[in-house]
Amino acid sequence: MRAIVAKRVESGTADLAELRDLAAAAGYTVVGELTQTRTEDPAYCFGEGKVEELAELVVRTDADTVIIDNEVGPFQMFNIGQTLPEETEVLDRFTLILDIFGQRAQTRKAQLQVELAELRYELPRAAAKASLAKRDERPGFMGLGEYDESRERDIKAQIANINDELEAIADKEAQRRAERRESGFDLVALAGYTNAGKSTLLRQLAAELDVDENADKHPDLDSVAESQDMLFTTLGTTTRRAELDRREVLLTDTVGFISDLPHWLVESFQSTLESVYRADLVLLVVDASEPIQEMREKLVTSHDTLHERNEAPILTVFNKVDLLSEAELDEKRAALSGIAPNPIAVSGRTGENIETLRRRVEAELPDWKHERLLVPMADETMSLVSWVHDHAHVETESYEADQVLLEFDARPAVVEQARARAADLNPVEST
């Protein structure tokens, strides 16, 4: 598939870098570019002369698709299509993103979210097409199809049904998060823009194997996290275990942020973002090799997205430091200190500073409680000891006469469970 990428901006110079990456992620080969700086033309989005120039570029490059990095209305889309050579497909930015999402959606949850986004995208366009068809009093006006009020009702009904199913999935995931916390795991989510290197970083931090002892309880834990130089490699979530110095955590990599996403598209993926919002700690991963202004804009947008519903502290990670000098890194630290105070600089590719990041993650996680249990030796005592070792960091384990002393640090929920189990053994002492 051969594509022309085009963009109109109100002022300044149009940047097509991200659109080129999006097109490549969707499987297109970009064979030409076109930009324009002007106010929006109500009929064509671009100026009419610029659309004619676009048509000439399509012929000259033998392109079969035009991808526009703007939100293009149905009337504008029709007018552009009429100017281009016959059979040329015209996509706007959000149609392209939905196409990518559709290609990457593997799980039922991801497929539902993509379908929800497509319906939310179509809903206002269905209303516009119905209005245009009614005004012209011809079914299928401008090739738009027979859209009427019943189509709008159908879309709204489908949206309601998908929301109900996604809510059911979210309830199950909330229960799973609670079970993981009760099992002694802290939950750490990786967030950030696409291609910031989240999946590569996950591979560096995570253990080689899944949580074998919890395979039945947590069948969704993945042993592989892809790391490719491609947008939206991770559409759903990938969760793996990581061992820190004193505790184990579950790391979750999610779909990457992307600039200029409309509210309806972000809302469609709220179910996936719940794994970020409900984490104990969020690692906000930033590509440190990008220019300072681009890093700042992405940090601001990421914080806006996360602070809307996020409950966890945020630790900023400057990734890909192997691609810049120490002086460049110092400059970026200083320039971005207001929005990214005390970031940790790492390289997911080379492993530089990964151990420092592990220590920092442990320091930023919620404090554990210290517990001391003195229990009698009984039939179930060793089962309790083994359970505490699996769910906590044991500092002392000693055997005296017919008693066992355990001193450990753990999540408050784990401490409460340990106390309850110990109570069944009629413990001599619990403090």
Q: Are strands 238-243 and 248-253 parallel, antiparallel or unpaired?
A: antiparallel
Task: Determine the 3-state secondary structure of 424 from DSSP.
Answer: coil
Identify whether the C-beta of residue 392 lies closer than 8 Å to the C-beta of residue 370.
no
Identify whether the C-beta of residue 284 lies closer than 8 Å to the C-beta of residue 189.
no
CA-to-CA dists, residue 311 to 127, 169, 187, 252, 274, angstroms: 38, 20, 12, 16, 10
The annotated binding site for GTP is made up of 192-199, 253-256, 319-322, 347-349
Distance CA 257, CA 191 (A): 8
Distance CA 5, CA 29 (A): 10
Find residue 314's DSSP bridge partners: 282
Distance CA 231, CA 247 (A): 32
The annotated binding site is made up of 192-199, 234, 253-256, 319-322, 347-349
Instruction: Show the CA angle centred on residue 179, arms to residues 177 and 180, nearest 5°.
Output: 65
The annotated binding site for Mg(2+) is made up of 199, 234
Distance CA 372, CA 345 (A): 38
Identify whether the C-beta of residue 37 lies closer than 8 Å to the C-beta of residue 8.
yes
Distance CA 85, CA 88 (A): 6
Question: Tokens standing for 318?
Answer: 């400057």
Distance CA 207, CA 345 (A): 21
